Structure 1
């Protein structure tokens, strides 16, 4: 599991800088929406045993209650996706559960965990990688925020209790 901005090395290969927070919990743990919003993406990117991927992934668009600016919460490595693109969600809605390790739903990762990210950039209707590399022009490092700090700055209450249960 990786922390935000930690160097990602998987199978002795440098992937880049991690863009989210990995939260280690057992398979079957419920994952909940951090706030009201609209699901803009809900799909599976299974990868394979040689190259991991997102597995089941959900992206929810939210509006910051203070600034009214949009931001996106990303949840990956889910066994179940309980929401579909276009669904509206409320704070605490169970949107999925954490997948078992080494499965397509988990993206073939060795650890059972939730990858959780906050993205403040423009939504371009495609999923970006969970890491950033200087030599790839896939995303802007600035657009990815440290999730816990971001949520605390905007006074979204009960983050820890509401995200996983």
Structure 2
């Protein structure tokens, strides 16, 4: 039973009954509904923006997600560290191990090649944290491939190491003219002045100035493949195949002490200094081939020179002067 409400009418000096109109009641009802909706909306906004209002389960999920993000960041840091270590191993492999055994460095394109074709990481896309997951997965794939390449390289080095004794005995390793017989180191490997044209020309060997008839020594074990004067400019010259793609050449000789097909050992006298062919004075022109490439001979004298003699030879061979051929 609804309560009846009254108000005091000052004109009639009596209490009168309060009577509500229908529209007024409806307005109050609508106002109440709108107020309740507005209050609910405000509470929802507050709920969504204040972390303290998360449910215990949501808080547990958030802690788990934050921990996962942290673990992936730590994983990426460890992968970067491991990649740096692997890169250092690769540099040693190319610049020490492979060079020492005469193997060509592995191209950087091969070491760092990615994975072409379809998107390998499509299944990892579309999630809130896809970026860190994909980044870690890419790092793992990259390191895995680099390990495979490095493993194959070390297998190759291991095989070369088994032949190390043969390599060390055959590789050109001594100076072909004894220091006691040398007048001077006339010219080294690099751009030099041509004695005939006076123009700059690349000199692919080293010139050792010595008297005619001075003994010339084989710089490593091998087989004489040429002992003739049929190569333009070299005059009487000898070529020795040392194996492992190494060949040494001795030019402008006065006479031979070996013949084609003969086996020689390091230190054997193979010929004598002269001035045959394109030459302006008695000297030995000496070259080393690795495959089809002519390389600087000065890096191969570790078997006959002291450190002081080697340093003196480096200084003399680096002078920009005029060659004798």
- The normalised TM-score by structure 2 is 0.35
Contact map agreement 2:208 2:283 (CA 8 A) in 1: yes
Post-superposition offset of 1:32: 0.7
> What CA distance in whole angstroms lies between the structure 2 residues aligned with 1:72 and 1:15?
26
- The normalised TM-score by structure 1 is 0.65
The correspondence of residues 40-79 of structure 1 with structure 2, limited to 5 A, is 40-45=225-230, 53-63=233-243, 69-79=244-254
Contact map agreement 1:46 1:108 (CA 8 A) in 2: no
> What CA distance in whole angstroms lies between the structure 2 residues aligned with 1:93 and 1:84?
13
Work out which of the residue numbers 304, 311, 321 in structure 2 matches 1:158.
304
> What CA distance in whole angstroms lies between the structure 1 residues aligned with 2:245 and 2:204?
18
Answering whether residue 204 of structure 2 is matched by residue 19 of structure 1, we say: yes
Task: Provide the residue aligned with 1:149 in structure 2.
Answer: 299
Post-superposition Cα deviations, 1:116-160, rounded to whole Å, max 9, x if no partner, equal: 0100124xxxxxxxxxxxxxxxxxxxx1111121343xxxx2269
> What CA distance in whole angstroms lies between the structure 2 residues aligned with 1:40 and 1:15?
31
With over 3 angstroms needed to count, the CA separation of the structure-2 counterparts of 1:40 and 1:28, relative to structure 1, is same
Q: Which has the higher strand share?
A: 1
The correspondence of residues 1-165 of structure 1 with structure 2, limited to 5 A, is 1-12=186-197, 14=199, 16-45=201-230, 53-63=233-243, 69-99=244-274, 101=275, 106-122=276-292, 143-152=293-302, 157-158=303-304
Post-superposition offset of 1:85: 1.3
> What CA distance in whole angstroms lies between the structure 2 residues aligned with 1:159 and 1:61?
23
CA-atom RMSD, angstroms?
Answer: 2.2
Q: Which has the higher helix share?
A: 2
Helix, strand or coil at the partner of 2:270: strand
Higher relative contact order (CA 8 A, sep 6+): 1
With over 3 angstroms needed to count, the CA separation of the structure-2 counterparts of 1:158 and 1:21, relative to structure 1, is same
Contact map agreement 2:195 2:280 (CA 8 A) in 1: no
Stretches of structure 2 lacking an aligned partner (at least 5 in a row): 1-185, 307-325
With over 3 angstroms needed to count, the CA separation of the structure-2 counterparts of 1:45 and 1:14, relative to structure 1, is farther
- Number of residue pairs matched? 121
